[in-house]
Amino acid sequence: MTTSELAQRSLGQRALLGAKRRIMRAMGPWGVFLQGFIEHPVMVGSIIPSSRFTIRKMLAPVNWETCKLFVEYGPGVGTFCRPVLEKLRRDGQLIVIDTNPLYIDYLKATISDSRFVPVLGSAADVESIVRANGHDHADYVLSGLPFSTLPDGIGPEIAAATYRVLRPGGAFLVYQFSAKARDFMAKHFKHIDAGFEALNVLPCKLFWGWKD
């Protein structure tokens, strides 16, 4: 391939990427979220993003002054990402992990914060993902993944990997429509706080598993 052909190919790829980003922005978060739910309802678990009340209550126990790495599983269209970035220290990092390329592409197109790292992959691989981004551990891990509908073996694998990747004193923050996630968490986290948020569609259960 000649230099001219390579240049034309590069221009075409950039134009395609630009068009893709414009389409994502035009769809808006609700459109992208709905499309993701329709395509992968078992992995998304909800047709509507979490409410601001759920976000506020879920993040309330986080010590932002000491948080250098915050990880989120299943970020969707960034419902939690923006509130986390607003509170995260300037030298901190937010790594989000999702198996759906639709959501990862949308987040890349709409969040330009240098502390933000979207990763297409599985939450079960959180340890290698954290290491690949220059960290030994995470301070907090947030998850809205529907543990009750995940494929067999995936829920326990994610819970175990999350416990290992957290620093002592760190926490696994989980919001769910059922209490199934707590069963997976309890095998690793001896101290689990629980809460509930009625002002959400649907009302959801909240859990904070603290690593000793």
The 10s digit of each residue's pLDDT in 14-42 is: 654 454 455 445 555 545 655 555 555 54
Q: What is the mean pLDDT of residues 75-79?
A: 90
Question: What is the pLDDT, as a whole number, of residue 16?
Answer: 46
The residue among 189, 101, 103, 175 whose CA lies nearest residue 145 is 175
201 pLDDT band, cuts 50/70/90, is: confident
DSSP, res 199: S
61 pLDDT band, cuts 50/70/90, is: very high
Does residue 11 carry a pLDDT above 50? yes
Burial 119-157 (b: 16+ CB within 10 A, else e): beebbbebeebbeeeebebbbbbbbbbbbbebeeebbbb
For residues 142 and 24, the model is more confident at 142
The Cα 167–Cα 67 span in angstroms is: 11
Mean residue pLDDT of the chain comes to 85
Percent of the chain with pLDDT over 90: 65
Structural domains present in the chain: 42-210 (3.40.50.150)
Does residue 6 carry a pLDDT above 60? no
pTM reported for the whole predicted model:
0.81
Q: What is the mean pLDDT of residues 63-81?
A: 95
Residue 142's DSSP bridge partners are: 72, 173
Does residue 10 carry a pLDDT above 80? no
Strand pairing class (204-210; 166-176)? antiparallel
Percent of the chain with pLDDT over 70: 77
DSSP 17-39: HHHHHHHHHHHHHHHHHHHHHHH
Place of tokens 């969707």: 76
